[in-house]
Structure 1
Amino acid sequence: MNAGVTLIVLGAVLLLGVAVWLFLQARDQEYQSDVKMRLRVSGADEAAISQGSSTIRNPVLRWICHLFWRTGSEIRPEAVVRLLLGIVVATVLLTVIVGPFIVLPVVGIGLTLVYMLLIQRAVWRRIKIVEQLPAYLENVIRVLAAGNTLDEALNQAAREAPNPIRPLFSSIGRQVRLGAPLEQVLSEAGEIYRLRDLKVMALAASINRKYGGSMRGVLKSLIVVIRQRSSAAQELRALTAETRFSAKMLAFINIGLFAWMYVSNPKYYDVMINDSTGLLLLAGSGTMLLLGFVAMWRMLKGIDESES
């Protein structure tokens, strides 16, 4: 395949991607227009209209936005779309200029590393939220004892809470003030941030709203469960410290060895780089290395997530 045919194929792929993006954007705008019209007919204010227009129907875009939101970022879906489009355009241009055997592995490894960094930051943030949750729920119980409702107690306790739990429950309180049911907001927040404790609170709030009962007893039991689970997770991390260190060394030693050999003797890989079979072997070995790296990272991630 010569350079002209390659350029035509890549241009066609780029145009197809732009067409799909425009189609999805048109669907989202149509849906948002319908939501705004229904909210205006029902007499909602501009804040509620803005809140309703933030619904993301595209599953891929929703997944990426949730991934960023778990890290504490407040990135808008429109910015994510522009970012993805820029990555696609840059990849196509670099593929035409440099070649697919170099650009595609580099882009794949780069996106994988960014994904891992985002996941790791989200895990650390979730662990921090779980650590702060018992103290926050104790403040909620004290506010409930003064005769306030659950949503008022959550909002007042959030004002005195530290980061990152304060912006989380401040957002929950803001959505409740806009008219959303408390149990629904808690359930959605638990789904976005992958916090099982928020789902338990949502279930308790739903039962309390329908059948009554005391929320203080449920919250006290939840505090005990969170602290017991955190203690067990810390013990697990201590028992697996040596194994996790060995996994990290195995993951990075191959990359370090390859970089050292290439820097010390750049001509060592010239034969493989200038041969099609050698390029396939390098691509295959890089793919297997990446898969092994992802597998070990997933095992380490499972240990980190046990704390939440």
Structure 2
Amino acid sequence: MSPLVWYKLSLAVALLAVALVATQWLWASWRERGAVSGRIQQRLFPKGETSAVTSARVTVGPLEKQLMRADIHLTQNQIVLLGLAILAILVTLQVFQGPVVMLVALFFIGSAGWVYWKVRFQNQRRTIQEELPGIIDGVLRNVDAGRSLEHALINAFDDAPPVFEPLVFRLRSAVEAGREYTRLFEDFAGIYSIPSLIMVSVSLRTTTRFGSSIRPVLQQVASSLRSQQEMRREFLAATAETRFTAITFAVLPPGLALYMVTINDQYSRVLLETDIGHKMLIVAGVLQLLGMVMIWRLIQGVGRE
């Protein structure tokens, strides 16, 4: 066989090896997350345990869950209308400008929507992390005042931000109905990816089962959260220039491309109406997407709890 054939075979084997390694890594990560979740469930609700009351849960659909995570208030009709409007825009671009322009528009619309959702989701998580220590202190003060743990939780959440409303509403309903409420914190932690609430759920579960004191655990959680917030503020101040540079590198290339296509008809005609231009757009889009993913992976730890 010719050297070109050997080169193509070696390239195919290399790509297959990379795909296999990536698949194994994803499988191992999924198994590890499943094992951690299983251990948490076993700790919270051991097998064979029976209860005369049912557990209150935060049960929401997949779409409602994503909207709740980003504090986006849209009805199903509004979501359908928004989807139809985007579809109409894409179909119009497909008919009058061609598939390349339609794909570019789809890329920008998808990227803008994802960034908008991600920013709002991180703001929600940050609000929970900042307010949770004060809420825990309020629970401890109410317990010291002689209230029961259930009513201390309700009173402490009375002045909580709106992000806690799904939890507070179900917590109050569960306490008034005499139902088991500890899994509410677990579900709420799963929605917003807050590990500290898992610790609160475990401590509440242990207290209700064995009557142990909840004060040391809650004090430790509040102290840990305050330390995290202090380190996060220092880290944000120290890396502000780096984060600004990374965001600029991610936004500037597509912005310049859009500007050049808009002001130069001849340049845009080459890109949009020739095979070479189509290939250039595809390569540029793939490289831009990979660059944005890499930059996001580099800076995603900044400010995250």
Give the TM-score, by structure 2 length: 0.71
Match of 1:115 in 2: 114
Paired with 1:80 and 1:184, the residues of 2 have a C-alpha distance of 32
1:294 aligns with 2:293: yes
Match of 1:176 in 2: 174
Cα RMSD of the aligned pairs, angstroms, is: 3.0
- Name the stretch that deviates more: 84-93 or 134-143: 84-93
- Name the stretch that deviates more: 102-111 or 87-96: 87-96
1:184-221 per-position Cα deviation (integer Å, ceiling 9, x unaligned): 11000000011111111111111111111111222111
8 Å contact 1:68–1:74 — kept in the other structure? yes
Match of 2:188 in 1: 189
The alpha-carbon deviation at position 119 of structure 1 amounts to: 1.0
SS of 2:72's equivalent in the other structure is coil
Match of 2:231 in 1: 232
1:239-291 per-position Cα deviation (integer Å, ceiling 9, x unaligned): 22222121112112212322332333222231231112321221221232123
8 Å contact 2:57–2:187 — kept in the other structure? no
User: Which consecutive unaligned segments of at least 5 residues does structure 2 have?
Assistant: 1-53
Paired with 2:178 and 2:100, the residues of 1 have a C-alpha distance of 53
The alpha-carbon deviation at position 55 of structure 1 amounts to: 4.7
1:86 aligns with 2:84: yes
Q: Between the two proteins, what is the percent identity of the paired residues?
A: 24
The alpha-carbon deviation at position 299 of structure 1 amounts to: 2.9
1:114-149 per-position Cα deviation (integer Å, ceiling 9, x unaligned): 111111111112112211111111111111123333
Q: Report the residue type matching 1:208 in the other structure.
A: T
Match of 1:148 in 2: 147
Q: Which runs of 4+ in 1 moved over 6 A?
A: none
Match of 1:106 in 2: 105
Query: Could you say if the C-alpha distance between residues 81 and 250 of structure 1 is closer, same or farther in structure 2, counting changes exceeding 3 Å?
Result: closer
8 Å contact 2:167–2:185 — kept in the other structure? no
Paired with 1:80 and 1:206, the residues of 2 have a C-alpha distance of 40
User: Which consecutive unaligned segments of at least 5 residues does structure 1 have?
Assistant: 1-47, 57-61
Match of 1:205 in 2: 204
Query: Could you say if the C-alpha distance between residues 174 and 283 of structure 1 is closer, same or farther in structure 2, counting changes exceeding 3 Å?
Result: farther
1:4-59 per-position Cα deviation (integer Å, ceiling 9, x unaligned): xxxxxxxxxxxxxxxxxxxxxxxxxxxxxxxxxxxxxxxxxxxx9xx999653xxx
Paired with 2:184 and 2:57, the residues of 1 have a C-alpha distance of 13
1:45-88 per-position Cα deviation (integer Å, ceiling 9, x unaligned): xxx9xx999653xxxxx1x4322211223546x45873686378
Query: Could you say if the C-alpha distance between residues 75 and 246 of structure 1 is closer, same or farther in structure 2, counting changes exceeding 3 Å?
Result: same
Paired with 1:251 and 1:120, the residues of 2 have a C-alpha distance of 15
| Structural mapping, 1:1-308, within 5 Å | 55-56=60-61, 62=62, 64-75=63-74, 78-79=76-77, 82=80, 86=84, 89-90=87-88, 93-94=91-92, 97-98=95-96, 99-161=98-160, 163-174=161-172, 176-177=174-175, 181-305=180-304, 308=305
Paired with 1:239 and 1:201, the residues of 2 have a C-alpha distance of 31
8 Å contact 1:128–1:164 — kept in the other structure? no
Paired with 1:112 and 1:209, the residues of 2 have a C-alpha distance of 46
Paired with 1:222 and 1:53, the residues of 2 have a C-alpha distance of 22
The alpha-carbon deviation at position 227 of structure 1 amounts to: 0.7
RCO greater where, 1 or 2, for CA within 8 Å and sep 6 or more? 2
Paired with 2:68 and 2:300, the residues of 1 have a C-alpha distance of 18
Q: Report the residue type matching 2:168 in the other structure.
A: S
Paired with 2:69 and 2:180, the residues of 1 have a C-alpha distance of 22
SS of 1:303's equivalent in the other structure is coil
Q: How many residues align?
A: 250
SS of 1:304's equivalent in the other structure is coil
Query: Could you say if the C-alpha distance between residues 201 and 242 of structure 1 is closer, same or farther in structure 2, counting changes exceeding 3 Å?
Result: same
Query: Could you say if the C-alpha distance between residues 81 and 276 of structure 1 is closer, same or farther in structure 2, counting changes exceeding 3 Å?
Result: same
8 Å contact 1:65–1:80 — kept in the other structure? no
1:146-178 per-position Cα deviation (integer Å, ceiling 9, x unaligned): 3333332121112133x2455254234245246
8 Å contact 2:58–2:167 — kept in the other structure? no
SS of 2:71's equivalent in the other structure is coil
Q: Report the residue type matching 2:169 in the other structure.
A: S
Q: Report the residue type matching 2:91 in the other structure.
A: L
